[in-house]
Amino acid sequence: MRFAKQSTFMLMVVTSCANTECCNCASLRMFGRIRTLLALLLWITCTNYSYAQRTLAITGATVETVSDKGALDSATILIQDGKIAAIGPEIQIPISAQIIDARGKTILPGIVDPYFVVTIGRNTPAATTRTVVFNGRTFTIAGGAPSIATEFAKVGDGLDIGSVNWQPALRSGITTFHVVSGGYAQSLFARAAIVSQDETDVEVLEPNGRLLVTASNETKSLDVLRNNLKPADSRGGGRGAAQGPTMGSRGGSGRPGSGGPGTGGPIAGRGTGRSSGASGGPTGGSPTSTLWNDVRDGRAPIFINVNNASAILHTDAILNSYPKARIALVASGADVFSTLENLDKERYTVILPPTMDRKPNSAERINVPRLLSEKKIRFAFSLSLGQSDFQVHQPTPLLGLSMLIRAGLDRQQALRALTLEPAKLLGIDRQVGSLEVGKRADFVIFDDDPFSVNAGIEQVFIAGEASHE
């Protein structure tokens, strides 16, 4: 260590001076005491050098905790071993801590993206075609988009995590990802990680995530829900609920739906491999039975991506027979607006991009998150939904959210929908989603109020370490 070498050199100088013949006896005794004291101080400093490296204090910033403490002015965040050790306006800072002055800046918790879509290696059905005869000539043309995949797949099995371009998300302040794929699948959880001094990447936090279904008006896609939600005993077989661990069942620790500290993150069953699912539902021993049992019994939410308002009504009708089931509905703002009266506030969480929408068949602008808030329906924002906007607005990732706030959405609800609400939905709110003691020190420093027009991200911290700018 450079500091340790410099300290040793200073000690050698003092020792040399103490042994010179020009010094009298009193001077020798005084130098001896100084040398002993200096050696003791240097030993303490060098011994605690690694501790100093692990302790960081961010001071003077406005901190949006997204907790019961709310926003704190001129606050200090003390970080030790990658977690928040203390937070508040009057925090005693250890003498060994590295201090970063953040006066005039605003700090938010790291953003949790509840629906980050990736492409995995799976066979997708070919697009449908139709034959048209015109002037005696026959033409074969595409008849529509490819059908929605109904074969079960695990994102963790089909994803090469190194092939995904995570940088736009990391530059936008996203530090935790719910990684999903279209069709019928099981997601995974991932988080940002410091790879080296100059590189930030993403690592898998938990390969066994939530159940995913993409629904349309097609009977085949709706049958994935309809058939799999039926208990196995109603199809002449055993329930199979004991097949593998369920949410929050590790040794009795953690509440349902939450991994909790020390549990290794959320667990949503241990299903692996593939199952047709759509044809007859999971049997007692199928790899997906635990996932569907957890959804049916309300231990874990199911994520349903719908492509139109009609699909929302179809899925809602199917799920009405299973009152314990909790639904994370991924839909456009216009489709949610059209079906707002059908959404049960006790069961639904709506996932939206943070943008203003238009009423169907109208030019009138609507603030769907504000309407959801008025009806007490939970909602969460995914910055990555709508990839074109996501790429364009990297310098100012919260511009769309600032427009919603200006149009009447409560600021604190907007912050929760970006951080704590998706963390709760995913069952990882004990680890991330707000700035509180004991949580992972993931946060984003903005150079101004994050909802001002020109606010930009100055720095992203991951587990207490600054990512590259």
Report pLDDT digits (tens) over 360-417: 888 899 999 999 999 999 999 999 886 555 666 666 788 889 999 999 999 999 999 9
- Mean pLDDT (whole number) for 154-158: 92
Q: Which of 23, 61, 3 is nearest to 445 (CA)?
A: 61
**Strand 348-352 to 327-330 pairing:** parallel
Alpha-carbon distance 158 to 149, whole Å? 14
Q: With 70 as the cut, is the pLDDT of residue 25 above it?
A: no
Residue 346 half-sphere exposure toward CB, CA atoms < 13 A: 6
Report pLDDT digits (tens) over 218-260: 899 899 999 999 887 665 544 333 333 333 333 333 333 333 3
Q: Return the domain boundaries, the chain.
A: 1-13+28-47, 51-104, 111-435
Report pLDDT digits (tens) over 57-75: 999 999 999 999 999 999 9
Alpha-carbon distance 27 to 13, whole Å? 15
CATH code at 51-104: 2.30.40.10
Q: Are 261 and 214 in contact (CB under 8 A)?
A: no
Helix residue spans in 112-218 (DSSP H): 155-158, 167-171
pLDDT at residue 376, rounded to an integer: 96
| Type of residue numbered 278 | A
pLDDT at residue 235, rounded to an integer: 54
pTM over 0.85: no
pLDDT at residue 33, rounded to an integer: 65
Question: What mean pLDDT value characterizes the chain?
Answer: 79
CATH code at 111-435: 3.20.20
Q: With 60 as the cut, is the pLDDT of residue 317 above it?
A: yes
Q: Is 103 exposed, middle or buried (0-12, 13-18, 19+ CB in 10 A)?
A: exposed
Report pLDDT digits (tens) over 41-54: 555 554 443 344 47
Q: With 50 as the cut, is the pLDDT of residue 15 above it?
A: no
- Mean pLDDT (whole number) for 90-99: 91
